[in-house]
Amino acid sequence: MPKTDITHKLSKPIVEKVAIIGAGPGGLATAIALRTLGFDVQVYEKAQDFRPAGTGLGLTPNGLNCLDAIAPGIVETLTISGCPVRHILIKSSTGETIREIPSRNIELYGRPLLTVWWWRLQQTLASRLPADIIHLNHRCIGFEQNENTVEINFDNGKTVYADLLIGADGVNSVIRETLFKEGKANFLGSMCWRSVLKYHHELFDSHETVFIKGNKQFMYILNVGEGYTSWISRKLSPDCSLSRNADEVKSRILNELAGWDESFREVVEATPAQEIWEGPICDRPPLSHWSHGRVTLLGDAAHPMAPAIGQGANSTFEDAYELQACLSESSTLEAALTSYEQRRSDRTQIIQKQSALGEMRYYETENSVEQTQQQPKMRPINEFHNWLYSYKPSVIN
Ligand SMILES: Cc1cc2nc3c(=O)[nH]c(=O)nc-3n(C[C@H](O)[C@H](O)[C@H](O)COP(=O)(O)OP(=O)(O)OC[C@H]3O[C@@H](n4cnc5c(N)ncnc54)[C@H](O)[C@@H]3O)c2cc1C
């Protein structure tokens, strides 16, 4: 979107009131970050309560570095509740071991691969904020802005005003849609079923993350700590239609896993049907800029990506850190938002592209995985991972 007069007329050198839409990892991390700058930050979330939700996530050194810079000590807290991964086990659908990969993240980048439950991450971040700045049951339905303020509207009839509006409202962001009118996200041709439940998988005794490769489908079983297991099953499918009810979802996924080793099916069988999430995997095309006047985007709202390389939440924490840095270093809001986009746009475009590529690699056949095993050893340090995981925030004074 071309910059208009609104941007150029901004006169306040610094913001006072900030409204964040979305209390996911991005919105909450940003709220913590911006409160340390002395701003009056309010977070608006459509959910009626904070109930257990979301999937198991892998937090990587780049995301953890940023998170720790925003909220010192929080990585220790997450390490206690989550699970630092030492080994990743790759299995065939019938249970044969294909490969065992030791995680070298600590050795190479100083931080582990940490698997956590999205809900636990949300709770941990929320515990760093005063409860009265998080407004549940506030679904944003749109905004209007002028040179002095942003007016933000909610479906409960409320209206609030802020100097800066941050859309951290995920892949189907209302803030992004109001700015860019793109419509629905791109369906990437694969379906996902997932849940988190109290369960101990026998393989966790020696491996915390298990990747099971089937024919054009795969499954992750993650130890996310505190006795919880996250399973995520994905299948290449041109059809993104959803099942009619929870029982149908459960039968469908069990049907997809017919012939798979019992220990992989058992975790699905143990999951209550109404706690299995079913949905399509989607992304959106990269944006070259995503701020307009007093409004900007962050996390999945700005750069939603396929989950293939596990960078959605991690890149969200990078955004939160960089937005804090830009707002603290710049003398005007316009300069801060321009600098934020400049710092984030190229990097997130590369991550989005790699995620889309990685998504397709997932669906190579079992044979091609075996062939990959027989090829000469990969480079000891994958250049892309090195670039990705080495990202470190500078200290803000
Ligand atoms: C299967 C799967 C596996 C994944 N694995 C990983 C991984 O290993 N590592 C990783 O880094 N990422 C992973 N991700 C991605 C990660 O979950 C997201 O990138 C991350 O949660 C983005 O955070 P966010 O705060 O930007 O958005 P979200 O987590 O989507 O949060 C958005 C929040 O905004 C709220 N909201 C939405 N609309 C409105 C509205 N109109 N008004 C008010 N509130 C609203 C929502 O209720 C939600 O609380 C995975 C995703 C999936 C689907």
Check: CB of residue 39 under 8 Å from CB of residue 16: yes
- Alpha-carbon gap, residue 267 to 199, rounded angstroms: 7
Topology of domain 5-185+283-389 in CATH is: FAD/NAD(P)-binding domain (3.50.50)
- Output the CA–CA distances (angstroms, integers) from residue 160 to 9, 34, 170, 254, in the order listed: 22, 18, 21, 46
Percent of the residues in the chain that have a pLDDT greater than 70, as a whole number: 91
Q: What is the pLDDT of residues 193-210, one digit of tens each?
A: 999 999 999 888 888 999
- Alpha-carbon gap, residue 368 to 181, rounded angstroms: 40
Ligand 1 surroundings by CB, under 6 angstroms: 21-27, 44-47, 55, 57-58, 118, 138-140, 168-170, 174, 192, 194, 232, 299-301, 307, 310-314, 316
Distance (angstroms) between ligand 1 centre and the Cα of 307 equals: 11
The CA-CA-CA angle for residues 82, 199, 225, to 5°, reads 5
pLDDT, averaged across the chain: 91
For 204-229, b where at least 16 C-beta lie within 10 A, e where not — what string?
A: beebbbbbbbbeebbbbbbbbbeebb
Distance (angstroms) between ligand 1 centre and the Cα of 172 equals: 10
- Alpha-carbon gap, residue 118 to 312, rounded angstroms: 12
The amino acid present at 181, given as its one-letter code, is K
Check: CB of residue 162 under 8 Å from CB of residue 43: no
Query: Which residue from 43, 50, 57 has its CB within 8 A of the most atoms of ligand 1, so it is best to mutate?
Result: 57
Which distant-in-sequence residues (6+ apart) come within 8 Å of 5 by Cβ? none
Query: Which residue from 78, 174, 219, 316 has its CB within 8 A of the most atoms of ligand 1, so it is best to mutate?
Result: 316
Order of strands across the sheet with 164-167?
134-135, 40-44, 17-21, 164-167, 295-297
Give the residue among 147, 139, 148, 146 at the shortest CA–CA distance from 175. Answer: 139
Torsion of CA 363, 284, 386, 210, to 10 degrees: -40
Query: Which residue from 118, 140, 152, 169 has its CB within 8 A of the most atoms of ligand 1, so it is best to mutate?
Result: 169
* CA 26 to ligand 1: nearest atom: 25
Distance (angstroms) between ligand 1 centre and the Cα of 372 equals: 32
- Output the CA–CA distances (angstroms, integers) from residue 292 to 34, 53, 227, 284, 318, in the order listed: 19, 32, 44, 19, 20
- Alpha-carbon gap, residue 233 to 211, rounded angstroms: 10
* CA 58 to ligand 1: nearest atom: 8
Distance (angstroms) between ligand 1 centre and the Cα of 297 equals: 13
For 10-26, b where at least 16 C-beta lie within 10 A, e where not — what string?
A: beeebbebbbbbbbbbb
* CA 173 to ligand 1: nearest atom: 38
pLDDT in tens, the chain (397 residues): 444 445 444 444 479 999 999 999 999 999 999 999 999 999 999 999 998 889 999 999 999 999 999 999 999 999 999 999 999 999 999 999 999 999 999 999 999 999 999 999 999 999 999 999 999 999 999 999 999 999 999 999 999 999 999 999 999 999 999 999 999 999 999 999 999 999 999 888 888 999 999 999 999 999 999 999 999 999 999 989 999 999 999 999 999 999 999 999 999 999 999 999 999 999 999 998 999 999 999 999 999 999 999 999 999 999 999 999 999 999 999 999 999 999 999 999 999 999 988 888 888 754 444 444 344 443 444 789 999 999 988 754 3
* CA 139 to ligand 1: nearest atom: 42
- Atom 48 of ligand 1 has which residue's CA nearest to it? 24
Check: CB of residue 188 under 8 Å from CB of residue 306: yes
Its sign, for the CA torsion 142, 318, 131, 329, is negative
Assign residue 137 a region (left: φ > 0; alpha: ψ between -120 and 50; beta: otherwise): left
